[in-house]
């Protein structure tokens, strides 16, 4: 396993024990721009650049599952021009992604795709299908994602199956619920990282974070470098996870 990428060397030595799934809440773009007297859109652009850097670094250090909160079901409440900027950045990413998606990376979108333009939905599905057989790293991107929305969506599918006689209510288990989430077949979050100083989940992977370790930092997402990720990974390795046992 290559511990460090050629371009992104870090001073820190990474621990042997890396989390199976690292979740990132990419927060603080707006404040990053405000601090510089720039419009919020600049922060989103910078945040998108940082996202690509961090994805590459995660692959270099051998992480297997990474997820990024890019746009929540609640973020539609923002002013139209801000939503449009974020959607444009998302579109650029989807159109261009094959040029910078590292080899052997599977791409999965978490969230309700139906809110996006038809052509964008098609591109997202095609990308998921075309990369479904890749095994080195799973890259999950949460767009129009909400944890409550996800669980509600799973409940509806299970209710329909029960109504159709495919399952009985007692067949519904924690596993079958998990199998109907957007993250079906993917591991729960081990380490959840939230930059920008906010100490909350904001509806991100609420089921999958049930036993996650949380790492909060005041650094804003556009300033969140590979070295910041190293710090989180080192801190994670020090934690004692008990899962309710002793």
Least distance between ligand IPE and beta carbon 72 (Å): 4
One residue of 42, 51, 57, 71 binding ligand IPE per CB under 6 A: 71
The burial of 200, by beta-carbon neighbours within 10 Å (0-12 exposed, 13-18 middle, 19 or more buried), is given as exposed
For residues 191 and 234, give the distance between their C-alpha atoms in angstroms, rounded to a whole number.
Answer: 11
Of 27-35, 140-148, 163-171, 210-218, which segment contacts Mg ion by CB under 5 A?
Answer: 27-35
Catalytic, out of 29, 60, 75, 218: 75
What tokens were used for 171?
Answer: 């067949």
Assess whether 27 carries a catalytic annotation: yes
Residue closest to ligand IPE, measured at CB = 30
E strand spans, the chain: 21-25, 65-72, 105-110, 137-145, 191-194, 213-216
One residue of 196, 208, 232, 233 binding ligand IPE per CB under 6 A: 196
One residue of 18, 19, 22, 27 binding ligand IPE per CB under 6 A: 27
One residue of 24, 25, 26, 27 binding Mg ion per CB under 5 A: 27
Which uninterrupted H or E stretch holds 230? helix 226-238
Assess whether 112 carries a catalytic annotation: no
Please name which of 143, 70, 151, 137 lies closest in space to residue 111, comparing C-alpha atoms. Answer: 143
One residue of 75, 102, 121, 217 binding ligand IPE per CB under 6 A: 75
Residue 23: partners with Cβ closer than 8 Å, 6 or more residues away: 66, 67, 68, 69, 189, 191, 192, 193, 204, 205, 208, 209, 212
Spatial contact of 10 and 227, defined as CB atoms under 8 Å apart: yes
Of 199-228, which residues contact ligand IPE (CB under 6 A)? 200, 202
Q: Which is nearer to ligand IPE, 42 or 69 (CB)?
A: 69
Taking phi first (over 0 means left), then psi (-120 to 50 degrees means alpha), and beta for anything else, what does residue 181 get? beta
> Does residue 46 touch Mg ion according to CB under 5 A?
no
Least distance between Mg ion and beta carbon 26 (Å): 9
Contacting residues toward ligand IPE, per CB under 6 A? 25-31, 69-72, 75, 86, 196, 198, 200, 202
- Positions annotated as catalytic residues are 27, 75
């Amino acid at each position: 396993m290559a511990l460090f990428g050629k371009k992104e060397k870090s001073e820190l030595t990474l621990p042997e024990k890396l989390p199976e799934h690292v979740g990132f809440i990419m927060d603080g773009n707006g404040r990053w721009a405000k601090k510089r007297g720039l419009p919020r859109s600049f922060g989103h652009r910078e945040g998108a650049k940082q996202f690509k850097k961090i994805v590459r670094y995660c692959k270099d250090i051998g992480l297997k599952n990474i997820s990024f909160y890019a746009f929540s079901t609640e973020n539609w409440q923002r002013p139209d021009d801000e939503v449009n900027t974020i959607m444009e950045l998302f579109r650029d990413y989807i159109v261009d992604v094959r040029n910078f998606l590292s080899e052997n990376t599977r791409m999965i979108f978490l969230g309700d795709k139906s809110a996006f333009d038809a052509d964008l939905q098609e591109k997202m599905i095609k990308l998921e299908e075309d990369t479904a057989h890749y095994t080195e790293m799973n890259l999950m991107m949460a767009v129009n994602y909400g944890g409550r929305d996800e669980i509600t969506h799973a409940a509806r599918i299970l209710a329909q199956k029960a109504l159709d006689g495919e399952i009985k209510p007692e067949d519904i288990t924690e596993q079958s619920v998990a199998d109907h989430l957007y993250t079906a077949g993917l591991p729960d979050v081990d380490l959840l990282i939230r930059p920008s100083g906010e100490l909350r989940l904001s509806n991100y992977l609420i089921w999958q974070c049930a036993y996650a370790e949380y790492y909060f930092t005041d650094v804003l997402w556009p300033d969140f470098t590979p070295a910041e990720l190293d710090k989180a990974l080192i801190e994670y390795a020090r934690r004692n996870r008990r899962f309710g046992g002793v």
